[in-house]
Each structure stands twice: as structure tokens, then as C-alpha cells.
């Protein structure tokens, strides 16, 4: 209430100065005031359009994420049922396919919000949905085969719609399970899944490009209207000394600051008249939303979603950049497939997170911990000139001790590690190939150990 009263007082003083100008130069001031009103209307109109663009973008972005999440959930439920035979996973899968239908809702959202992202984003998401439906047919067939192998009776009506070929029907229960697992865990399945991820990513990129283009257009329009307001204020300044002082403090100086900050792509300081503060507040909200979205997209592009470590792409760039005075460790989880098969993928994911956390805790902030494969990790240690090998082995021993501890409810796990030092490479070996060679030797020694290249 107190703040609102302050804003009203500031606005009243502003109008009072305009009335004074009207009394001295009625015709001149009337024309300038009309122009000022038009520019303010244009400013708020531009801001409203920019807000609408962000609203549409958010809706489309959420829809793309929802399709990907729904597809991943279907994959998880299908794999879980084929692996475990637990009917709950089968029912959850069927509920999503025939009841919830989040993927179809996502595509409808993109089509309804077509003014952001346009046809390209909708086409990308439709392509992702088409491939996801193809993947669903494969998953339904795999679960029907698995249901026969597990002897599930009665079979859900929706599963009965999927018919098994006579050849597959004649297989033994064991062979049927092998077939079902191959259908949802094989390379062909992963290829289709990767294509879905790629199309969703292309959809998101189309949305970002359209949003950035519209943002630039709105910023140019906003800068133009603000410049016009500055000119109007400058002309009114010469009427009286008091008007000059008030206009300079409440309008001209803040406008100049705003234009500079806009050109420098910085947030605006909340100063000046109440109208300007409203504009600045709206602009800053949009600026902050865009900054967070940009940082979020950059973070997703550089890190692994499950573990929070750097992903394979970032690892390749870091390894290319750091080539001297470094140590490269490649760590492979021993018999990780057995963990997934015995305890389920949820436990497997928890084990990977535990390993990632152990790497972050034990290595320095100047080192780079990465997940470069499903169960393969890497650490690039920098500034290793003159550092003894025991520094590395002590860290690996500490990590091994943590991974053997099962008090957190996770199964015991071990790592096979290959280590290569940049100053100990042999001719013909890259740092990666040297570490990979050492890793191979660690596995040959029975796993759960580490080997230095050349040792």
C-alpha cells in the first residue's frame, strides 16, 4: 500500500508538470504529449507481445519435454516388465498407451501453439511421436512374448490385440524371454530411441531460434519507442528549470541507462519514474527468464542428465584442450549388466550416481569427472607435473572403499581403471589409447584394480 502510494505521488507530480507546460505552451505540449502516449502504448504492446512469445515458448518446450518423458517412461516400464515379469509395469505401460496418452497431448499442444516454433517444431515433434509409436508396437510385441513366457493369465485385453507370429509362439519360455529382451534392449531399439531424442532436440532448437528472433524484433521496437520518449523529454526540458531537473532525474537519465544496458545485454536498474520502473521490471523479468533458460540449456548440453558429470561431448573437448601435464583415468564398472539384471535399472542408476558422487568428492575442483558411456567414466586430472602416482592411487583406493560399503542399501560394486600420464606416453599412443590399453590390462588381471600405462 505504501509503495503504491509512492508510485501514485510520483505519477501525480509528472502529470502536474505536464499541466504546467500546457498552460505555457498548450499547442506544443499537446502534440508532444500525444506522441509520448503513443510511444508508451507501443512500449507496453511490445512487452505484451514478448510475454506472449515466452508463454507460447514455455508451453511448447514443456510439451516437447513431456513427449520425451512419456517415451522414456514407456521404455522403462517395458524393459522392467520384460526383465522382471512384474505385472505392475505392464499395467503402467498400458495405462500410458491407452489412457493417459501424454505423447499425443504434447503434439496437440505444439500444434495449438503454432505461432511459436511454427510448422517446423510441430513437424519435428510429430516425427518423434511417429517413431515413438513404432517403438511402442515393438514394446507391446516384446511384452506379449514375455507375458507368454511368464505364463501370465489372464492376459489383458489390450495385450491380446498384439499377435505373436507362429515362429515366436513355438519358442520355449527361455527363448521367448531372450527374444523379448533383444526387442527392447537391442541396438535397433536404441537406434530408434536415439532418433526420437534427436527429433525432440530439433524441435527445441526450432523453438529457441524463433524465440530469439522475436526477442530481437521486440527489443528493436522497444529501443525505438524509448528513444522517441527520450527525445520528447529532452524537448520539454527547456520549458522551465524545474521541469528540466525533474525530467532529467526521472526520465532522461534512466532511459540512457536502459539503452546502454540493453546494448550490453545486462539487466536494467530500477530507477526513474513509476512508468519506467514498470517497463524495467517487465524487461528484467523477461531477461532473467531468458538467462535461466539459456543457462539451463547450456547445462543440459554439457552434462550427463543422470549423474550430473560432464557428458561425452564435453569430455572430448576437454581432452583435446588439455594435453600436457595431465593424467587420464578411464574407469569401467565391473559386471554392471549383472547389477541391472539382478536388481533392476533403478538400482543400476543409483549405483552410477554413487560412483559419480565418489568421483566428485575425491578428485579436485580442477579435475574433470565425466561419464563417457553407459557404465564407463573418465577423469582428466590437470596440473600433474611432478605429482606422485600415489596421489592418484590413494583417491582410487578411497573410492573403492566407498563402493564396497553397502550400508546405503546398494549392492557392492568395483571398478577397473586404466591410467595414462601425458609425460609418460610412448610413440604412437594418444592419451586416450594409452589409458584404454591400461584399462584392458586391469580387466585381464581380474578386474577391481587399476593399472598405469607402461607399468
Whether the full predicted model's pTM is greater than 0.85, yes or no, is: no
> How far apart are the C-alpha atoms of 301 and 287, rounded to whole Å?
21
pLDDT of residue 298 exceeding 60 = no
Q: At what angle do helices 26-84 and 102-112 cross, to 10 degrees?
A: 160
Structure confidence by residue, pLDDT tens digits, 313-345:
999 999 999 878 999 999 999 999 999 999 999
Structure confidence by residue, pLDDT tens digits, 387-424:
999 999 999 999 999 999 999 999 999 999 999 999 88
Burial 375-407 (b: 16+ CB within 10 A, else e): bebbbbbeebeeeeeeebeebbeebbeebeeee
Residue with the larger pLDDT of the pair 313 and 156: 313
pLDDT for the residue numbered 19: 59
Provide the grid cell at 427.
610413440
pLDDT of residue 189 exceeding 90 = no
pLDDT for the residue numbered 336: 94
Structure confidence by residue, pLDDT tens digits, 430-449:
999 999 999 999 999 999 99
Residue with the larger pLDDT of the pair 416 and 137: 416
pLDDT for the residue numbered 14: 47
CB 79 within 8 A of CB 348: no
Cis, bond preceding 154 (omega within 30 deg of 0): yes
Which of 332, 334, 367, 375 is catalytic? The answer is: 375
Residue with the larger pLDDT of the pair 336 and 288: 336
Label each residue of the chain as H, E or C: CHHHHHHHHHHHHHHHHHHHHHHHCHHHHHHHHHHHHHHHHHHHHHHHHHHHHHHHHHHHHHHHHHHHHHHHHHHHHHHHHHHHCCHHHHHHHHHHHHHHCHHHHHHHHHHHCCCCCHHHHHHHHHHHHHHHHHHHHHHHHHHHHHHHHHCCCCCCHHHHCCCCCHHHHCCCHHHHHHHHHHHHHCHHHHHHHHHHHHHHHHHHHHHHHHHHHHHHHHHHHHHHHHHHHHHHHHHHHCCCHHHHHHHHHHHHHHHHHHHHHHHCCCCCCCCCCHHHHHHHHHHHHHHHHHHHHHHHHHHHHHECCCCCCECHHHHHHHHHHCCCCCEEEEEEECCHHHHHHHHCHHHHHHHHHHHHHHHHHHCCCCCEEEECCCCEEEEEECCCCCCCHHHHHHHHHHHHHHHHCCCCCCCCCCEEEEEEEHHHCCCCCCHHHHHHHHHHHHHHCCCCCEEECCC
Nearest to 193 by CA among 79, 311, 333: 79
Dihedral sign from CA coordinates of 137, 142, 147, 148: positive
β-partners of residue 328 are 380, 420
Structure confidence by residue, pLDDT tens digits, 11-68:
444 445 555 776 777 787 788 778 889 878 877 776 776 676 677 667 777 877 887 7
pLDDT for the residue numbered 287: 57
Residue 375 annotated as catalytic: yes
pLDDT of residue 121 exceeding 90 = no
Provide the grid cell at 370.
565425466
pLDDT-based confidence at residue 78 (cuts at 50, 70, 90): confident
Structure confidence by residue, pLDDT tens digits, 80-111:
988 998 889 888 888 888 887 777 787 777 66
Residue with the larger pLDDT of the pair 3 and 315: 315
**Residue 354: C-alpha distances to residues 319, 330, 372 (Å):** 24, 17, 16
Residue with the larger pLDDT of the pair 387 and 215: 387
Per-range mean pLDDT, top range of 47-56, 196-205, 249-258: 196-205
Structure confidence by residue, pLDDT tens digits, 47-62:
776 676 677 667 777 8
In the chain the domains, ranked by start, together with CATH numbers, are 1-302 (no CATH), 312-452 (3.30.70.270)
pLDDT for the residue numbered 445: 92
Residue with the larger pLDDT of the pair 137 and 368: 368
pLDDT of residue 373 exceeding 80 = yes
- Which of 145-149, 167-171, 203-207, 230-234 has the weakest average pLDDT? 203-207
CA angle 416, 420, 421 (to 5 degrees): 145
Give the residue-averaged pLDDT of 215-235. Answer: 79
pLDDT of residue 375 exceeding 90 = yes
pLDDT averaged over the chain?
81
pLDDT for the residue numbered 276: 65
- Which of 143-147, 257-261, 298-302 has the weakest average pLDDT? 298-302
pLDDT-based confidence at residue 129 (cuts at 50, 70, 90): confident
CB 380 within 8 A of CB 368: yes
pLDDT for the residue numbered 236: 64
Amino acid at each position: 500500500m505504501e509503495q503504491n502510494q509512492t508510485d501514485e505521488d510520483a505519477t501525480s507530480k509528472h502529470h502536474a508538470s505536464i499541466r504546467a507546460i500546457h498552460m505555457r505552451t498548450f499547442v506544443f505540449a499537446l502534440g508532444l504529449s500525444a506522441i509520448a502516449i503513443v510511444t508508451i502504448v507501443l512500449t507496453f504492446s511490445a512487452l505484451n507481445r514478448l510475454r506472449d512469445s515466452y508463454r507460447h515458448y514455455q508451453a511448447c518446450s514443456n510439451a516437447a519435454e513431456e513427449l520425451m518423458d512419456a517415451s522414456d517412461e514407456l521404455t522403462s516400464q517395458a524393459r522392467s516388465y520384460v526383465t522382471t515379469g512384474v505385472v505392475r509395469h505392464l499395467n503402467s505401460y498400458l495405462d500410458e498407451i491407452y489412457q493417459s496418452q501424454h505423447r499425443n497431448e504434447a503434439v496437440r499442444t505444439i500444434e495449438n501453439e503454432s505461432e511459436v516454433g511454427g510448422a517446423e517444431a510441430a513437424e519435428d515433434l510429430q516425427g518423434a511421436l511417429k517413431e515413438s509409436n513404432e517403438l511402442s508396437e515393438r514394446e507391446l510385441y516384446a511384452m506379449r512374448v514375455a507375458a507368454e513366457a511368464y505364463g501370465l493369465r489372464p492376459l489383458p485385453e489390450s495385450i491380446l490385440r498384439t499377435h505373436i507370429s507362429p515362429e515366436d509362439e513355438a519358442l520355449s519360455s527361455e527363448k521367448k524371454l531372450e527374444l523379448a529382451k533383444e526387442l527392447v534392449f537391442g541396438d535397433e531399439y536404441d537406434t530408434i530411441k536415439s532418433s526420437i531424442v534427436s527429433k525432440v532436440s530439433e524441435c527445441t532448437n526450432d523453438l529457441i531460434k524463433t524465440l530469439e528472433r522475436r526477442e530481437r524484433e521486440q527489443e528493436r521496437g522497444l529501443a525505438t519507442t524509448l528513444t522517441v520518449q527520450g527525445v520528447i523529454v529532452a524537448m520539454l526540458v527547456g520549458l522551465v528549470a524545474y521541469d528540466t531537473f525533474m525530467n532529467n532525474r526521472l526520465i532522461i537519465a534512466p532511459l540512457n541507462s536502459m539503452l546502454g544496458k540493453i546494448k550490453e545485454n545486462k539487466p536494467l536498474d530500477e530507477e526513474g519514474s513509476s512508468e519506467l520502473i514498470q517497463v524495467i521490471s517487465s524487461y528484467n523479468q523477461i531477461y532473467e527468464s531468458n538467462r535461466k533458460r539459456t543457462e539451463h540449456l547450456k547445462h543440459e548440453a554439457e552434462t550427463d542428465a543422470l549423474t550430473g558429470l560432464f557428458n561425452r561431448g564435453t569430455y572430448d573437448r576437454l581432452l583435446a584442450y588439455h594435453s600436457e601435464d595431465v593424467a587420464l583415468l578411464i574407469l569401467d564398472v565391473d559386471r554392471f549388466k549383472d547389477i541391472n539384471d539382478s536388481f533392476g535399472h533403478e538400482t543400476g542408476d543409483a549405483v552410477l550416481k554413487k560412483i559419480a558422487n565418489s568421483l566428485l568428492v575425491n578428485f579436485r575442483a580442477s579435475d574433470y569427472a565425466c561419464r563417457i558411456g553407459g557404465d564407463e567414466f573418465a577423469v582428466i586430472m590437470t596440473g600433474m607435473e611432478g605429482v606422485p602416482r600415489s596421489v592418484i592411487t590413494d583417491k582410487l583406493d578411497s573410492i573403492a572403499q566407498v563402493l564396497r560399503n553397502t550400508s546405503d542399501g546398494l549392492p557392492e560394486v568395483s571398478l577397473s581403471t586404466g591410467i595414462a600420464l601425458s609425460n609418460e606416453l610412448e610413440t604412437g599412443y594418444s592419451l586416450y589409447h594409452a589409458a584404454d590399453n591400461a584399462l584392458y590390462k586391469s580387466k585381464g588381471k581380474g578386474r577391481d584394480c587399476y593399472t598405469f600405462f607402461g607399468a
